[in-house]
Amino acid sequence: MQELDPLLHNQLRLAIMALLAQNESVTFPYIVEKTGASRGNVSVQLTNLEEAGYIKIQKRFVGKKPQTSASITTSGMQAMQEYTEALKSYLDL
């Protein structure tokens, strides 16, 4: 059996990565809405994923309002694929 990536083996981080794997880029409020997690918890988990190199955070202004968005990196997409394959190996026992 393959080992499960401990960074992705967390419900909120996995949910964030799944959202990012399906979309080119998503905004911070969208992640909060879709996961149902608090803004603070989402912020912490985004930082963890960014530090691992799995996602990229972009900050910009739309008009005069700041907007934070995130996108998955190539290594993040690879980590998700490896995690999925590892999970499948557990299910095929």
Percent of residues, the chain, with pLDDT higher than 70: 99
Residue 3 in this model has a pLDDT that exceeds 90: no
* pTM, entire model: 0.92
Residue 1 in this model has a pLDDT that exceeds 80: no
Predicted pLDDT of residue 93:
64
**Strand boundaries in 1-93, DSSP class E:** 26-27, 55-62, 65-72
Task: Please give the backbone phi and psi of residue 27, each rounded to the nearest 5 degrees, phi first.
Answer: -85, 160
Summarize pLDDT for 40-52 with one digit per residue, the tens: 999 999 999 999 9
Q: What domains are defined for the chain?
A: 11-87 (1.10.10.10)
Residue 28 in this model has a pLDDT that exceeds 80: yes
Residue 55 in this model has a pLDDT that exceeds 80: yes
